[in-house]
Structure 1
Amino acid sequence: MRYWHYLYPALPPFQGREQLRAGLGALLGISLCVFLVNLSSRMGVSSLYLIAPLGATAVLVFCVPNSPLAQPWSAVVGNVTAALVALIVVFTVPSPWSVGIAVGAAITAMMFLRALHPPGGAVALLTALNPSEPLEVGLLFAFVPVGLTTALLVIVAIAYNRASGRVYPFRQLETDITEEPALRLGLSTAQLGELLDRFNQSTNLGMADLGRLLAAAELEAAQHRFKGTTCADIMTIDLITAQPDMSVAEAARLFRSYAIKSLPVVDDARKLHGLVLQVDLLQTVAVQDRPVAWPQRPPRRRVSEVMRPAERIVSHDLPVGALLNRLAARGSEVVPVEREGQLVGIITRSDIMRLLLDGAEERMVA
């Protein structure tokens, strides 16, 4: 009896709102295709009609728009390829052998073109079982009605999913350059792809969404471990700062006197204007294009001329768990912390290391 659980539903319960969203989208998409077909028939275009596998395509593009099998390339190219292959098989292979060969060859062709789309198998089967109309239209059947109606359904799905808050087409790592590197967990595109291949999930999940799932899981774990800890709890508050009009020479003396690695640049209102790192001063005061025996005095430059822009600022009440990847993934050496527009502290890699090592001995014993 313990094996009966394998027969239980594998999908989690859908929320009522999600059921309504998907059902309404399919209704709109198929209805628009019906309208186009009826309009074309009144205009004397007999080659445009609906095919049953379009309903299966509607299930994918409206219910699981994040699946690689539901993406525009898979849907349009997959259905068109399946129809073309089935037509060629029907032309060359006698019945009843043409039916199985058409479906098998269509699946192979779709996989070769990286356009695997389950309704494509139904397109091939329908074409092989009822070849009279497709053969009458010829190879054009693959494009009208199959390709045209599939493309129309995909266009409706793109507009409807985005209007209802779903991402379709799904994100591609190669083009999604606006996302924070922290969401990638430091994993390359190839490494994410290897994870999907290892667990045979390449046809079920995109690499970008896998990266987001892994990052969300790590963030949840970090927040659970450091729950209640905010940036204000670990930041360095005794800051040595500079003002924009301070000379570079004065800033260099501050670095030597206090053995600091970064120098926030603020105005009288404690508003952060930028950061100066040791490497910035080294590049400024280094003697260039002169022999060592003929040093020259560093130019009288101001801190405002060499500082880095004030970026990646965090709020004092940001949970530490949300910050852990930033220093490593972005290569940041220091993260400014603000409260109500004023600089109140900075967080360095050393601060993060102290937090991670806090209680490490107790955890090892446990």
Structure 2
Amino acid sequence: MRAFFQSWLPSAPTANSREQLRAAIGALLGIMLTALVSHLLLQHTHASAFLVAPIGASSVLLFALPASPLAQPWSVIGGNIISGLVGAACVRWLGASLPLPLLAGLACGGAIAAMFLARCLHPPGGAVALTTVIGGAAVQAAGFEFVLMTVLADSVLLVLMAVTYNNLTGRSYPHAQQNAHPNPHATGDAVPTVRLGFKPEDLDAVLLQHNQVLDISRDDLASLFMQTEQRAYQRRFGIISCADIMSRDIVSAEFGTGLAEAWQQMREHRVAALPVLNRARRVIGIVTQTDFLEHGGLDDYGSIRQQLQRFLRKSGVTHTEKAEVVGQIMTQHPTTARTDTPIVDLVPLMADSGFHHIPIVDNEQRFVGIITQSDLVAALYESRFAEAAA
């Protein structure tokens, strides 16, 4: 019996107390400001109210679940307005001939069907439809005007509040639905990390078989699966950190290092990239062979040697548009990793995002080494070989 009642309880929340407080404060500010602005906008109109109760339910989604497909701007605005229009239509044309329970059910059911068709499913939309039916004589009399004034104003204002607050507090909103594994080479091939393991079509097939609305986007679900696979790999093979495999005796450059000197260092040491450091040995950029080729305008391969020589040669004047030092052609703010970062975390960066070199920094963000694709491949091979030998 105890197990039966425990099954009614939800699982523990995955969000920490800080995130819960962030959502609560957001709803407080969002509803308060929406009410104030809506009242100012509607006080001189014939609107029967300036704030509707279903907006409170919308605020839960907008501030506590901003990544949900049900909480995106079109879902909120379109869902509330379409549902309200369905409810108002039921009252206008069927209110006199149907009993209230049937009219309420028809309004909610019709609202859900309409939201599915318009791809704006939003749970509070059902409450908006119901409000137009049972909201009293003033709401029923206002009908479409109530929806197109009060509900529209409240929905738009709350979305604007959510855009501002979520982005100021570190939550991207609207939540962009992007390819979870974009190919940096702009080709039709899947990125390396999804050529083995589960594939997008596998996820699509499972979601089709599941045949239920999920409160998470497909791309977010795929990203969670990928991160789960990475953690499972760490548990299976043990955690090898960046400090275990990085190269430590690294040739580097400074912002003011001349192009010819930097190119010569790369040639002498047979490396394809130089981390660019400031005097505190913090990484401010990275310069690669690709940077030299792109900025040197080396698109005529027949005369590439002469063009490269002209690019590396100093102009001899104090003011010139020609790049003279590494800092003018480097990639600024490159992606870095810490010494204690598990190397499995570098796999998506190097395999999918196209990074060939990742500078490694310590706890004080000072440069201590670098990891290349070759280093990563060798480490992963050794871990697999050790497992097979065991």
**TM-score higher than 0.5 here?**
yes
Q: Return the offset for 1:357.
A: 1.4
Contact 1:231 1:320 in 2 (8 A): yes
Q: Return the offset for 1:275.
A: 2.8
Q: Return the offset for 1:355.
A: 0.5
The equivalent of 1:137 in structure 2 is 142
Counterpart CA distance in 1 for 2:352 and 2:12 is: 34
The equivalent of 2:245 in structure 1 is 234
Counterpart CA distance in 1 for 2:365 and 2:242 is: 15
Residues 19 and 343 of structure 1: is their aligned pair in 2 closer, same or farther, counting only changes over 3 Å?
closer
Counterpart CA distance in 2 for 1:342 and 1:63 is: 37
Contact 1:223 1:319 in 2 (8 A): no
The equivalent of 1:292 in structure 2 is none
Q: Return the offset for 1:24.
A: 4.4
SS in 2 for 1:86: helix
Identical-pair percentage? 31
Q: Say which of 300, 318, 339 aligns to 1:317.
A: 339
Q: What amino acid maps onto 2:112 in structure 1?
A: I
The equivalent of 1:194 in structure 2 is 204
The equivalent of 2:171 in structure 1 is 167
Counterpart CA distance in 2 for 1:221 and 1:347 is: 23
For 1:212-291, list aligned pairs within 5 A.
213-214=224-225, 216-218=227-229, 220-221=231-232, 229-237=240-248, 244=258, 246=260, 254=268, 260=270, 262=272, 264=274, 274-276=287-289, 288=302
Counterpart CA distance in 1 for 2:109 and 2:367 is: 65
Counterpart CA distance in 1 for 2:19 and 2:337 is: 34
Q: Return the offset for 1:287.
A: 5.8
Q: What amino acid maps onto 1:112 in structure 2?
A: L
Counterpart CA distance in 2 for 1:273 and 1:31 is: 48
Q: Deviations over 1:99-125 (max 9, x none)?
A: 332222111111111111111112212
SS in 1 for 2:10: coil
Q: Deviations over 1:329-362 (max 9, x none)?
A: 2223334556799976543222111111114234
Q: What amino acid maps onto 1:156 in structure 2?
A: M
SS in 2 for 1:347: strand
Residues 85 and 196 of structure 1: is their aligned pair in 2 closer, same or farther, counting only changes over 3 Å?
farther
The equivalent of 2:354 in structure 1 is 331
For 1:1-366, list aligned pairs within 5 A.
1=1, 4=4, 7-13=7-13, 20-35=21-36, 43=44, 45-93=46-94, 94-96=97-99, 97-129=102-134, 132-163=137-168, 165=169, 167=171, 169-174=173-178, 191=200, 194=204, 197-198=207-208, 203-207=214-218, 209-210=220-221, 213-214=224-225, 216-218=227-229, 220-221=231-232, 229-237=240-248, 244=258, 246=260, 254=268, 260=270, 262=272, 264=274, 274-276=287-289, 288=302, 302=312, 309=330, 312=334, 314=336, 317=339, 319-321=341-343, 322-337=345-360, 345-364=369-388
Q: Return the offset for 1:128.
A: 2.9
Residues 201 and 68 of structure 1: is their aligned pair in 2 closer, same or farther, counting only changes over 3 Å?
farther
Counterpart CA distance in 1 for 2:262 and 2:365 is: 26
Gaps of at least 5 residues in structure 2 are 186-190, 314-322
Counterpart CA distance in 1 for 2:261 and 2:33 is: 68
Residue-pair matches, total: 351
Counterpart CA distance in 1 for 2:287 and 2:148 is: 58
Q: Deviations over 1:189-238 (max 9, x none)?
A: x9498388355676411355445534544554565567664434313456
Q: Deviations over 1:44-82 (max 9, x none)?
A: 744334433233223323333332222222122111101
Q: Return the offset for 1:36.
A: 5.5
Contact 1:65 1:167 in 2 (8 A): yes
SS in 1 for 2:108: helix
SS in 2 for 1:358: helix
Counterpart CA distance in 1 for 2:307 and 2:22 is: 70
The equivalent of 2:318 in structure 1 is none
Contact 2:275 2:359 in 1 (8 A): no
SS in 2 for 1:84: helix
Residues 236 and 226 of structure 1: is their aligned pair in 2 closer, same or farther, counting only changes over 3 Å?
farther
Counterpart CA distance in 1 for 2:9 and 2:239 is: 38
SS in 2 for 1:274: strand
Q: What amino acid maps onto 2:374 in structure 1?
A: S
In terms of mean alpha carbon deviation, does 193-202 or 119-128 score higher? Answer: 193-202
Residues 171 and 207 of structure 1: is their aligned pair in 2 closer, same or farther, counting only changes over 3 Å?
farther
Q: Return the offset for 1:26.
A: 3.7
Contact 1:57 1:75 in 2 (8 A): yes
In terms of mean alpha carbon deviation, does 41-50 or 322-331 score higher? Answer: 41-50
SS in 1 for 2:302: coil
SS in 2 for 1:56: helix
SS in 2 for 1:288: helix
Counterpart CA distance in 2 for 1:99 and 1:341 is: 61
Gaps of at least 5 residues in structure 1 are 290-294
Counterpart CA distance in 2 for 1:78 and 1:12 is: 29
Residues 231 and 286 of structure 1: is their aligned pair in 2 closer, same or farther, counting only changes over 3 Å?
farther
Counterpart CA distance in 2 for 1:246 and 1:7 is: 70
With normalisation by structure 2, the TM-score equals: 0.66
Q: Return the offset for 1:148.
A: 1.5
The alignment yields a C-alpha RMSD, in angstroms, of 5.1
Counterpart CA distance in 1 for 2:71 and 2:274 is: 49
SS in 1 for 2:116: helix
User: Which protein has the larger Cα radius of gyration, Structure 1 or Structure 2?
Assistant: 1
Residues 134 and 221 of structure 1: is their aligned pair in 2 closer, same or farther, counting only changes over 3 Å?
same
With normalisation by structure 1, the TM-score equals: 0.70
Contact 1:241 1:264 in 2 (8 A): yes
Residues 119 and 336 of structure 1: is their aligned pair in 2 closer, same or farther, counting only changes over 3 Å?
closer
